[in-house]
Amino acid sequence: MADLSKDILTLREKKAVIEKGGGEAAIEKQVAMGKLTARDRIHSILDKNSFQEYDMFMKHDGRDFGMDKKEFPADGVVTGTGTVGGAPVCIYAQDFTVAGGSLGLQHARKITKVMDLALKMKCPVIGINDSGGARIQEGVSALAGYGEIFYRNTLASGVIPQLSLILGPCAGGAVYSPALTDFVFVVEKISNMFITGPNVIKTVLGEDISMEELGGARVHAEVTGNAHFYALNEKECFEQVKRLLKFISWNNQEKPKAVKAVAPKMKNIDEIVPADPKQPYDVRDIIKCLVDDSDFLEVQELWAANIVIGFGRMDGETVGFVANQPMVLAGVLDCDSADKAARFIRYCDSFNIPIVTLEDMPGYLPGVDQEHAGVIRHGAKVLYAYSEATVPKITVILRKAYGGGYIAMNSRHLGADFMFAWPGAEIAVMGPEGAANIIFRKEIMDAENKEAMRQEKVREYIEKFANPYVAASKGFIDTVIEPKETRSNLLHALKLSVLKDEFRPAKKHGLPPF
Amino acid sequence: MEKKRNDYVDFGVMAGTYKTRLTKKFVDRSVWQRPVAGEVLSNLPGTIIQVLVKEGDTVKEGDLLLIHEAMKMFNRIVAPVSGKVVGIHVMLGDKIGKNHLMVKIQPEEA
C-alpha cells in the first residue's frame, strides 16, 4: 500500500510539471496578450471536467543542434478527448509557451493520433493553432509532420466536422491544415495567418505591410474568406464554437440533433421586401422570420456579404440557408460569393442538412476584373454544388430571378425538390429594360417617340414576363405563395423530404471546377 | 513561336534569387496600397441618383451619403466612419466606374 501511494504521488508530480507547460514567465507573457493557455482553452470549450488528456508524457526525438538535451513538456501540444453538450469530441491545442508551439514530428504525431481517433469514433475534431511554425532543428521530420496532418484533414473531410481555431500565429505550411478544415475561427489582435510574412514580402517585392494588415483576423474574415467566424476576444470565439456545434451533425451518417421547436420571434415577413425591385433590404430579416426563435447563425458574415449563408432551425431541425443579399453589391453572384455558397452547399450535403435557398438576384457581376478572375470557373461551382447535392433542396424566389442567376440558385433544373415563388417574383431571362431593348428593337427604332415606345415596351415586357406565372405555367415553379405562408410551406416541404432518397452515378469522385 | 525566347529575369523568392520567366498576370498585378480611412469608393459601376450630403457636413458612421444605382438596385452608400465631409467627388447623374472616389470624410479624432 505504501509503495502504491508513492507511485501515485510520483505520477501526480510528473503531471504537475508537464501541466506547467513552458513555465510561469512564458504563461504570464501568453496571458498578457489576451491569450489563455492551451489547457485553459480546451477547458473553456469542453463540458466541465470532461477533458481527458492523452500522450502528455510523449517526448520529441530531435537529436541535432543540442535538441537531445532539451525537454519540451507534452512536446508543445495538448491532445485529448472530452464532451460538448454531452457528446464526444476530439481536441488538440498547441502550447505556445513550450518552444513557441513549434511543430516537430512527435508533436505532429500526437495531433494525427487524436485525428485518427476522431475519424474512427465518428466525432468532430477541434484544433487550436498557436505555433511559431516548424521546429527547424528537426528539419524534414517537421515537414513530414505537417504532411501527415494534411493527409488526415483530407481523409476526414466530409466524414466528421473539423474546426480550426487560430489563436496565435499560424504561418507558412501550418496554414494548410486550417485551410483544409470546415470552419476556421479567428480572433482580433490574436490570430495571424499567412504563407510568407511581411518581412519576406518587403525584401522580395518591396511591398510594405504590417502583420495585421497582411493576415490579421479581420483580413481573413473580410477579404480572403479563409475565416468563417470572427470574434473580438477568445471568450467570444469559444462561444461561437459551442454555438456552431449545436447546429451541426456529429458525422456524415447522422443528422444534427433536433431541439424543441420554437416559433420565430420576428413575424413581419410581408413588410420586408420593398415592392420596387430596385430598393434594397436585408435578406437576413427574411431568414429571421422563417427560423425557430429567429435564431440564425451566420457563417462568413463579413466576406462576400452579397450572399448570406448559415444555419437556422425549422421545427427543431437544422437547415442550411443560402440567400442573395440585395443590400450588398445588389446581391450579385461573383467569384467570391460563388465560392462561398458552393462550399457551404457541399458542407450541408455532406452532413445531411437540408438546404433552403432564398433568391433575389439580378445576375452575375459584369466587369473585366471578374471575367479575368475566372468568374466562369468560380460561378460554375454553384451549379455543380447544387446539382450534386442530394439532401432536400427547397427554393423560394422572393423577387428577382434573372438569367444565369435563376438557373444557378437551386432551380428546378438543377434538381430542386420544391420551388416556391412570391407573387412579386420576376423570373425572366434578363431584366425588363435589357430584354425590351432587344426584343422590341425594331418597334423602338421605328417609333416617332423612341423613349415613350421604349417605356411602353418595358411595361409590356414586365406584364408579360416579369412575374412568376410564366415559370409556374411550365411547372418550373410548384406554386406561388404569399410571404406569410412561407414558413408553413417550408415546414411541410421539409417534413415530406425526411426520407428523401436520391442517387447519383457511381464514381470515384466528381471534378468540381476548383 | 519559332523565335527563341530569352527573357529570363532575376526573380527573388524566400530562399534566393532565380532566373525565370514571369506570367502576364504577375507582371500586371497591382501593388497593394494602404486604404485611406474616410475615402468612400464605389464597389460597382453605376449612376449617382441622389446626393444627400454636402461639403462641411458632419456625419456619423452609417449615415446615408448617396444613392448609387448599379445592377438594377438603388444601393445605399453609407459613411464608413464618423467625421466631416471634406470632398464630394460625384454629381447627380454621374456615371462612374468601380473604385471611383465618391466622398471623402475627415475622420473625427477618436
Q: Average pLDDT, whole number, for chain A?
A: 94
B37 secondary structure, DSSP code: T
Q: Which pLDDT score, from 0 to 100, does residue B68 have?
A: 94
Please check whether residues A282 and A372 belong to one and the same domain.
Answer: yes
Q: Which pLDDT score, from 0 to 100, does residue B5 have?
A: 61
Decide if A255 is inside a domain.
no
Nearest to B28 by CA among A219, A368, A209: A368
Please check whether residues A347 and A241 belong to one and the same domain.
Answer: no
Task: Select the more confidently predicted residue: A480 or B26.
Answer: A480
Q: Are A42 and A80 in contact (CB under 8 A)?
A: yes
Residue of A nearest to B11 (CA): A204
The CATH number that applies at residue B65 is 2.40.50.100
Decide if B57 is inside a domain.
yes
Decide if B101 is inside a domain.
yes
Q: Do A365 and B13 touch (CB under 8 A)?
A: no
Q: Which pLDDT score, from 0 to 100, does residue A63 have?
A: 87
Average pLDDT over residues A378-405: 96
Task: Select the more confidently predicted residue: A461 or A175.
Answer: A175
Q: Which domain holds residue A38?
A: 2-247
Q: Do B74 and A277 touch (CB under 8 A)?
A: no
Decide if B17 is inside a domain.
no
C-alpha A74/C-alpha A52 separation (Å) is 14
Task: Give chain B's contact residues with A (Cβ, < 8 Å).
Answer: 12-14, 31-32, 34, 43-45, 69-76, 98
Decide if B6 is inside a domain.
no
Count of structural domains within chain B: 1
CA angle in degrees (0–180, nearest 5) for B99-B100-B103? 115
Position A66 pLDDT exceeds 80:
yes
Write the pLDDT tens digit of every residue in A133-149: 999 999 999 999 999 99
Decide if A215 is inside a domain.
yes
Decide if A24 is inside a domain.
yes
Position B2 pLDDT exceeds 90:
no
Q: Do A329 and B34 touch (CB under 8 A)?
A: no
Average pLDDT over residues A259-288: 94
Q: Do A329 and B71 touch (CB under 8 A)?
A: yes
Please check whether residues A417 and A478 belong to one and the same domain.
Answer: yes
C-alpha A93/C-alpha A168 separation (Å) is 11
Helical pair A375-388 and A335-350, crossing angle rounded to 10 deg: 20
Decide if B92 is inside a domain.
yes
Q: Looking at A201-210, A247-256, A308-317, A398-407, which range is the least confident one?
A: A201-210
Render A97-124 in DSSP notation, one character per residue: TTGGG-B-HHHHHHHHHHHHHHHHHT--
Q: Do A213 and B13 touch (CB under 8 A)?
A: no
Decide if A504 is inside a domain.
no
Please check whether residues A210 and A325 belong to one and the same domain.
Answer: no
A212 contact residues in B (CB cutoff 8 A): none
Write the pLDDT tens digit of every residue in A293-349: 999 999 999 999 999 999 999 999 999 999 999 999 999 999 999 999 999 999 999
The CATH number that applies at residue A280 is 3.90.226.10
Amino acid present at B4:
K
- Quote the percentage of chain A above a pLDDT of 90: 83
* Per-residue buried b or exposed e for A37-55, using 16+ beta carbons within 10 Å of the residue's own CB: bbbebbbebbeeebbebbb
Position A28 pLDDT exceeds 80:
yes
pLDDT confidence band for B4 (50 / 70 / 90): low
Please check whether residues A455 and A473 belong to one and the same domain.
Answer: no
pLDDT confidence band for A374 (50 / 70 / 90): very high
In this structure, chain B runs to a length of: 110
Regarding beta strands A162-166 and A125-129, do their DSSP bridges make them parallel or antiparallel, or are they unpaired?
parallel
Q: Which pLDDT score, from 0 to 100, does residue B13 have?
A: 73
Decide if B33 is inside a domain.
no
Average pLDDT over residues A436-458: 89
Write the pLDDT tens digit of every residue in A156-167: 999 999 999 999
Position A1 pLDDT exceeds 60:
no
Nearest to A128 by CA among A101, A165, A182: A165
Decide if A260 is inside a domain.
no
Average pLDDT over residues A49-65: 93
Q: Which three cell numbers stand for residue A17?
A: 510539471
Residue A218: which residues within 8 A CB-CB, separation 6 or more? A188, A212, A230, A302
Decide if A513 is inside a domain.
no
Position A242 pLDDT exceeds 90:
yes
Q: Which domain holds residue B69?
A: 39-107
- Quote the percentage of chain A above a pLDDT of 70: 100
Q: Which pLDDT score, from 0 to 100, does residue A190 have?
A: 97
Across A284-298, A425-439, B90-104, the highest mean pLDDT is recorded for A284-298
Please name the residue that has the C-alpha cell 429594360: A433
ipTM for the complex?
0.74
Please check whether residues A55 and A82 belong to one and the same domain.
Answer: yes
Beta strands in A219-288 (DSSP E): 229-231
Residue A268: which residues within 8 A CB-CB, separation 6 or more? A289
Please check whether residues A172 and A308 belong to one and the same domain.
Answer: no
Render A58-109 in DSSP notation, one character per residue: ------STTGGG---GGGGEEEEEEEETTEEEEEEEE-TTTGGG-B-HHHHH
Q: Are A67 and A137 in contact (CB under 8 A)?
A: yes
B69 contact residues in A (CB cutoff 8 A): 278
Q: Which pLDDT score, from 0 to 100, does residue A514 have?
A: 87
C-alpha A182/C-alpha A161 separation (Å) is 6
Count of structural domains within chain A: 3
B34 contact residues in A (CB cutoff 8 A): 209, 213
Q: Are A386 and A413 in contact (CB under 8 A)?
A: no
Q: Which pLDDT score, from 0 to 100, does residue A170 have?
A: 95
Where residue B62 falls (left for φ over 0; alpha for ψ -120 to 50; beta otherwise) is left
Residue numbers of A between 206 and 225 with CB closer than 8 Å to B: 207, 209, 213
Write the pLDDT tens digit of every residue in A199-211: 888 887 778 899 9
Please check whether residues A38 and A176 belong to one and the same domain.
Answer: yes
Decide if A177 is inside a domain.
yes
Please check whether residues A226 and A352 belong to one and the same domain.
Answer: no
Q: Do A207 and B32 touch (CB under 8 A)?
A: yes
Write the pLDDT tens digit of every residue in A101-123: 999 999 999 999 999 999 999 99
Please check whether residues A184 and A294 belong to one and the same domain.
Answer: no
Decide if A510 is inside a domain.
no
Position A78 pLDDT exceeds 80:
yes
Decide if B99 is inside a domain.
yes
Q: Which pLDDT score, from 0 to 100, does residue A363 have?
A: 87
Q: Do A204 and B72 touch (CB under 8 A)?
A: no
* DSSP-based three-state secondary structure for A164: strand
Please check whether residues A459 and A406 belong to one and the same domain.
Answer: no
Please check whether residues A440 and A480 belong to one and the same domain.
Answer: no
